[in-house]
A and B are shown apart, each in its own frame.
Chain A
């Protein structure tokens, strides 16, 4: 025993030394790990900055040739024989910008309520055995490549829409294309007739592209919503139920306010995808560069225009496409900015 007692201080000293070395090592590790994380974050920033700069420099000759007209002009007139001649090449981004915003808006208007329903069903209403299969089905939907959605949209949905949905829209909401007979709604509410004018017997349109986009962004929004709904404390919900609230009241008055920031974040995640979606939209939207007020007419989005024309473009046309890509950055940035401002105003309203 004494032998052990005598040895104790030196063991303690050793231990202290070992611990100090370990602490030093740990702090070095922590520093290095911190740098690594910083590098990851900076890499994203660098990529974003690089992409912005490349599109801006690539699009510079279009911006400097057409000035602010590029933003408001609906002409898209390439001259592939003389690609650098500004007198014969006239480009304006209005049609693709409007197409991008309108298709994304349609997608959001359709996808958000459905996603809310799905998320609510999965977190509140569905029996336990049904939750896993439906959740995995939605996640699978998110994994389908967009070209598949495009093919489905072009080969199955567009013909279906043409054969079944359009006749109903024409006779109940719009104007009959053969007889020019407006429906009651088109005759009594201004602009509806123009908004739903059926100019061509083709199912592919701005509206159909928006619907397909809605299906594509649905899984993103609904899975975010479902996950944040599960973070709502059970005692809050159960208290509300105990006071006699219906499921709808619990969802609308308890769950949604509690998760508002995350839900809006999820919606904007979906919106981001809708704004940039390329292949599916290119196949369905009909690729017309004419400005039309009708949702049933064909149109173009920023990304579909780039996908269509980039490979054969030269000179000013190529530069205009680069400028379009830059504008997509700007549009996305503005949309995200609006989202942030909205969240801040909501937070201020609640007094946080």
Chain B
């Protein structure tokens, strides 16, 4: 009798606890707002990490679909999502036409990666013009005098160069070709820049994974990937000569140096492509992804959460970003973005 009583009382206690927990859970879910973003695959890893941490803190779920920058812009123009994310900034005219505003979210680096038999990792140095000539197909051998002049003391093999580029349209290609256009007049006139271009030479790998896999397989190859992929896959990268004339190795500090020396203040709507930044220690192929939102929101409740999310991410999401080899925006830029929010966005 006693045991049955005890049992039934403990069951009812358990039920009560379960009920309360369920109530608490459903309570938060009912209050939470789910927002949707879409676009660039470049920021996908960091946004998903941020959104998990943010959901844990506030209960607001963020659903981000990495469908590509172009598709992200198309979706925000149609107003089907709360924010879009693009690796290429939208032009001032376009922003005005659709009543949109944009701001940078996080900084990352793109690194040329190489696989040269007989040359140890981290030994090769290149400048922008030589890199462009390689990707133009003008320099075809690793022992070319132009490469040798930059790499005194390195025994360069007489090996054919195989260029590996992205076969899919991507923000990585956008920033890489943008850099080459800035440092090579030949590249600027023949190939130009964009998420997809007509590559003068080479083979195409799909995604960062595809390019890193191809570079690892092809002796004598050179490609370009996001820094995180080069680190993860242990592919050797190239030191680049930056606009200040110094050779720098890719690192979080070098990306941050580029982000803080880029000319953000004089640009309207943060329309600055950070490549070839002037800082002494700046990594020349540094990139950001722009978040694009309506200046006059069609869904104020969602927009409020979106702003709260990005405010939290820019101010306290550094750790998550750094863990994925992205670099948080410099403080001065964050302040400038927050000022832009209050001045340009009506909520």
Q: Which A residues have a C-beta under 8 Å from some C-beta of B?
A: 75-81, 154-155, 158-159, 162, 177, 200-204, 282-283, 286-290, 298, 307-309, 311-314, 317
Contact = CB atoms under 8 A, between A and B. Distances in A.
B189 to A, nearest CB: 12
B198 A287 contact: no
Interface stretch (B23-31, B214-222, B256-264): B214-222
Contacts of B168: 308-309, 311-312
28 contacts: A75-B198, A78-B196, A80-B70, A80-B169, A80-B195, A80-B196, A81-B194, A154-B213, A159-B217, A200-B162, A201-B219, A202-B221, A282-B206, A286-B214, A287-B206, A308-B169, A308-B204, A309-B168, A309-B196, A311-B67, A311-B68, A311-B71, A311-B169, A312-B69, A312-B70, A312-B168, A312-B195, A312-B196
B210 interface: yes
Interface in B166-205: 167-170, 174, 192-199, 201-205
- For chain B, which range describes its interface: under 10, 10 to 19, 20 to 34, or 35 or more residues? 35 or more
B218 A78 contact: no
A314 B74 contact: yes
B61 to A, nearest CB: 24
B302 interface: no
B71 A201 contact: no
Given A202-B214, A313-B70, A314-B74, A77 B206 contact: no
B194 A79 contact: yes
B160 interface: yes
Contacts of B199: 289
Contacts of A81: 192-194
Contact of A80 (B174, B205, B217): B174
A155 B69 CA distance: 29
B171 to A, nearest CB: 9
A80 B213 CA distance: 26
A135 B186 CA distance: 59
Nearest to A82: B194
Contacts of A162: 217
Contact of B203 (A155, A202, A314): A202
A182 B7 CA distance: 89
A300 to B, nearest CB: 8
A317 B196 CA distance: 10
B196 A288 contact: no
A61 to B, nearest CB: 16
Q: Is the interface of B mostly helix, strand, loop or mixed?
A: loop
B197 A287 contact: no
Contacts of A308: 167-169, 204, 206
B320 to A, nearest CB: 26
Contacts of B162: 200-202
A283 to B, nearest CB: 7
Nearest to B217: A159
Closest 6 CB pairs of A and B: A312-B169, A287-B204, A80-B194, A287-B167, A311-B68, A77-B198
Contacts of A287: 167, 203-206
Interface in B49-106: 67-71, 74, 88
Nearest to A159: B217
Given A201-B220, A282-B206, 10 more contacts: A79-B194, A80-B174, A159-B217, A200-B203, A287-B203, A308-B167, A311-B71, A311-B168, A312-B169, A317-B196
Contacts of B221: 202
Most B CB within 10 A of own CB, among A80, A159, A286, A317: A80
Contacts of A75: 198
Interface string B307-330: 000000000000000000000000
Contacts of B218: 200-202
Contacts of B195: 80, 312
Contacts of B197: 77-78, 80
A288 B167 CA distance: 8
A199 to B, nearest CB: 9
Nearest to B73: A314
Contact of A314 (B70, B192, B198, B201): B70
A282 B167 CA distance: 9
